[in-house]
Amino acid sequence: MEKRRDVFHAISDPTRRQIIGLISINPLTVNAIAERFKTNRSTVSEHVKILYECGLVWVEQRGRERYCNARLEKLSKVETWVTQYKKHWHASLDSLEHFLDKKVVSKKKAKKR
Amino acid sequence: MEKRRDVFHAISDPTRRQIIGLISINPLTVNAIAERFKTNRSTVSEHVKILYECGLVWVEQRGRERYCNARLEKLSKVETWVTQYKKHWHASLDSLEHFLDKKVVSKKKAKKR
DNA sequence: TAAATATGTAGGCATATCCCTACGTATTTA
DNA sequence: TAAATACGTAGGGATATGCCTACATATTTA
C-alpha cells in the first residue's frame, strides 16, 4: 500500500470530518479541538497534520498556540467528482427499471435468456 | 480500528472511484472491469463487494456472470456534506489571502485561473 | 528563572487495507 | 460429460491507519 494524502482520503475519516465541521465555524487550537471530542490531543494533532497536508487546513501560529483554520476550497475536488454523477443517481432513483426489464444489460443480453 | 463501510470510505480509494466511473457508463462484469485496469480479478471482486456493501453498486447475476451496476444515489450523502461548506470555501480563500497578504497564495490562485 | 502550557512527534500496538495467489463452486460450452 | 469460464473467498504479506503514552521543544506565566 502507499500513503494517499488527498482530499478523498482526508475526508474518509469521521473524526477528520468532525474537525472540519468544528473549525469551519471558527478557528480552534489543537487543544480546543481535542477537548470537544475527548480525543487524545496527539491524535488530533495527527489528524490536523493530515488535513494540512492535503490543503484543507491552514495553521496559524500564535505564540505557543496553533490555530487551525478551515480552508475548504479543496473540497471542490470532491464536489466536482460527485456531481458529475448527479444526473445518474437521479435517473436510477427515478424508477424500478433496474428491477424490471428495461435496463441496458437486459437489452443487450436478452437473447441469452 | 474498526471497519468503516460507508460511502466516504468507499470513494476514498482511487481504484473504486475508477470502477464507479466505468460502470456508470454501462454495467460491466467483474472480469470486464479487471481487464480495463490490468488489476487482478479478485481485487476487483473485493472492491465491488465494498461498493455493494455501502450501496453504490447493485449486482445482477446472469448465469455465471455478474453485472455490476452503478447505483449512485448514496453519493448524495457526500454531496450534502461537501456543499454545506461551499460558501465557506470561497470565504476562506479570501481570509487566508488577507492574512498572508502575499505571494504564495497569490501564485496559487493565479495558477487556478 | 522555574513552572506551566501548547504542541509535535517518536514508538508501539491492534487492526484495516490493498494486493496477490491459490482453490472451490456454479454455469456454460464443446 | 469433461473442459472452460466467471466468480467469490480464504489465506497471507506488506504497509497504512488510528489511537495511545511518553518525551522533547518552544512559549508564556508566576
pLDDT band at A3 (very low <50, low <70, confident <90, very high): confident
Q: What is the pLDDT of residue A92?
A: 63
pLDDT digits (tens, 9 = 90+) for A78-109: 999 999 999 888 776 554 454 444 444 443 33
Q: Residue B8: which of A11, A73, A93 has the nearest Cβ?
A: A11
Q: Do B93 and A70 touch (CB under 8 A)?
A: no
How far does A97 lie from chain B, in Å, by closest CA?
12
CA dihedral for B53, B58, B60, B64, sign (positive or negative):
negative
With CA atoms as reference, the chain B residue closest to A93 would be B73
Task: Please report the residues numbered 7 through 46 in chain A whose beta carbons come closer than 8 angstroms to any beta carbon of chain B.
Answer: 8-9, 11-12, 14, 17, 20, 24
Average pLDDT score, chain B? 85
Percent of chain A with pLDDT over 90: 69
Compare CB distances from B12 to A12, A75, A105 and report the shortest one's residue. Answer: A12
Placement of cell 473504486 in the chain: B16
CA A7 to chain B, closest CA, distance in angstroms equals: 8
Residue B16 pLDDT > 70:
yes
| In contact, A33 and A27? CB cutoff 8 Å | no
Q: Which residue has the cell 500513503?
A: A3
- Residue A19 pLDDT class (50, 70, 90 cuts): very high
CA angle B61, A95, A113 (to 5 degrees): 30
| pLDDT for residue B98 is more than 80 | no
Q: For residue B109, what pLDDT is reported?
A: 40
Say if residue B12's pLDDT is above 90: yes
Strands (E), B1-113: 28-29, 57-62, 65-70
- Residues B35-93 have pLDDT tens digits of 998 899 999 999 999 999 999 999 999 999 999 999 999 999 999 999 999 988 877 55
Say what angle helices A14-25 and A30-37 make with each other, to 10 degrees. Answer: 120
Q: Are A17 and A11 in contact (CB under 8 A)?
A: yes
A53 to chain B, closest Cα gap in Å:
15
Neighbour-count burial of B98, counting CB atoms closer than 10 A to its CB (0-12 exposed, 13-18 middle, 19+ buried)? exposed
Residue owning grid cell 490562485: B109
pLDDT for residue A112: 34
- Which helix (H) or strand (E) segment holds residue B42: the answer is helix B41-53
Look at residue B58 and give its three-state secondary structure.
strand
Q: Using 50, 70 and 90 to split pLDDT, how confident is the model at B96?
A: low
pLDDT at A105: 43
Helices B75-83 and A75-83 cross at an angle (nearest 10°) of: 140
What is the average pLDDT score of chain A?
A: 85
- Helix/strand/coil (H, E, C) string of A6-50? CHHHHCCCHHHHHHHHHHHHCCEEHHHHHHHHCCCHHHHHHHHHH
Q: Do A79 and B76 touch (CB under 8 A)?
A: no
